[in-house]
């Protein structure tokens, strides 16, 4: 863990030509939905990565982070940690593995998926840029890194007229019983650090679904009945727990294969 703390505190200066870096963070897609704007970031690495951090700069300051999650090999690494935080025009993301697992060299199939609320009404053109990209190897040695710039047109004010939740809510998963996927919905009434984890009946952690700063809003996440190592788990009763810094809610669900 110490090596990743050191790794994530190192500042890297200079710009590298795109396509020549050991680590590249690209903006793969931007999609406007009914309740949020989804941005999928792709990771391409030619060397093994043990930690990653980068900024998303939106100009003008049109987006507000709701939540973020991982997909691909980033999800299969055990004990992962992903956080996102809004700071003015910058959203800062940090990913690392608390079990010191790493991501081997590979193509653009490892994703960080972020959901945003548009805070400027009306049609608007926005410059999106992944900057200050910093990757390190499992020994906390810096890797050469690069980002990408894209211009997108956004036409709707996501959730502008939707009421903010008044209480902390964790809904029953659906479907339940399920096989092999189920959706978990929850509501956050104020800005807080929120985590959603799956446990077995012995209290052992099975899957860390999400950890990050949430703004007030309505959220959902899908679980594919796999553990933190990407392995299918057995049928049975499992506990899913939603936690903030000073409260938690737990419910049971049934997996039937």
| Through-space distance between the first and last CA atoms of the chain, rounded to whole angstroms | 36
Residue pLDDT, tens place only, 120-164: 777 888 899 998 888 888 888 888 999 989 998 887 555 444 567
Which pLDDT score is estimated for 49? 83
CATH code given to domain 169-255:
2.60.40.1930
Which 8-state DSSP code applies to residue 226? B
CA–CA dist 125, 39 (Å, integer): 15
- CATH 2.60.40.680 residue ranges for the chain: 2-154
CA distance 169 to 55: 30
Residues 6+ apart with CB under 8 A from 202: none
In the prediction, which pLDDT does 98 show? 47
The burial of 157, by beta-carbon neighbours within 10 Å (0-12 exposed, 13-18 middle, 19 or more buried), is given as middle
Instruction: Quote the pLDDT of residue 221.
Output: 87
**Whose structure tokens read 């959603």?**
196
The CATH number of domain 2-154, selected from 3.40.50.10160, 3.40.50.460, 2.60.40.680, 3.30.360.10: 2.60.40.680
Q: How far is CA 62 from CA 132, 153, 157, in A?
A: 20, 11, 10
- Asked whether the beta carbons of 163 and 128 are under 8 A apart, the reply is no
Query: 247: Cβ–Cβ under 8 A, 6 or more apart, which residues?
Result: 168
Handedness of CA 65, 148, 221, 158 (dihedral sign): positive
pLDDT for 18 equals 40
Matching residue, tokens 């548009």: 118
Q: Which residues of the chain have pLDDT under 70?
A: 1-20, 34-35, 73-89, 96-101, 108-110, 156-163
The boundaries of every CATH 2.60.40.1930 domain in the chain are 169-255
Supply φ then ψ for residue 73, to 5 degrees. -65, -25
pLDDT of residue 17: 39
Residue 73: enclosing H or E segment and its boundaries?
helix 73-76
Give the global pTM.
0.55
Write the pLDDT tens digit of every residue in 167-187.
888 988 888 899 988 888 888
């Amino acid at each position: 863990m110490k090596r990743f703390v050191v790794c994530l505190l190192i500042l890297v200066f200079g710009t590298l030509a795109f396509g020549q870096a050991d680590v590249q963070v690209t903006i793969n897609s931007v999609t406007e939905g009914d309740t949020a704007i989804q941005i999928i970031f792709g990771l391409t690495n030619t060397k093994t990565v043990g930690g990653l951090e980068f900024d998303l700069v939106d100009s003008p300051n049109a987006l507000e982070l709701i939540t973020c999650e991982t997909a691909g090999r980033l999800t299969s690494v055990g004990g992962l940690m992903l956080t996102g935080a809004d700071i003015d025009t910058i959203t800062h993301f940090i990913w690392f593995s608390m079990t010191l697992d790493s991501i081997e060299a590979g193509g653009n199939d490892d994703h960080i998926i972020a959901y945003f609320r548009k805070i400027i009404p009306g049609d608007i053109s926005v410059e999106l840029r992944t900057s200050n990209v910093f990757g390190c190897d499992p020994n906390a040695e810096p890797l050469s890194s690069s980002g990408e710039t894209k211009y997108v047109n956004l036409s709707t004010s996501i959730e502008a007229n939707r009421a903010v939740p008044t209480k902390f809510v964790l809904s029953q998963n659906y479907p339940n019983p399920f096989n092999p996927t189920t959706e978990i919905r929850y509501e956050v009434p104020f800005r807080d650090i929120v985590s959603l984890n799956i446990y077995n009946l012995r209290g052992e952690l099975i899957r860390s679904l999400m950890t990050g700063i949430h703004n007030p809003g309505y959220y959902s996440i899908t679980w594919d009945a796999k553990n933190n190592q990407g392995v299918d788990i057995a049928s049975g009763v499992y506990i899913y727990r939603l936690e903030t810094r000073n409260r938690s809610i737990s419910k049971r669900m049934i997996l039937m294969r």
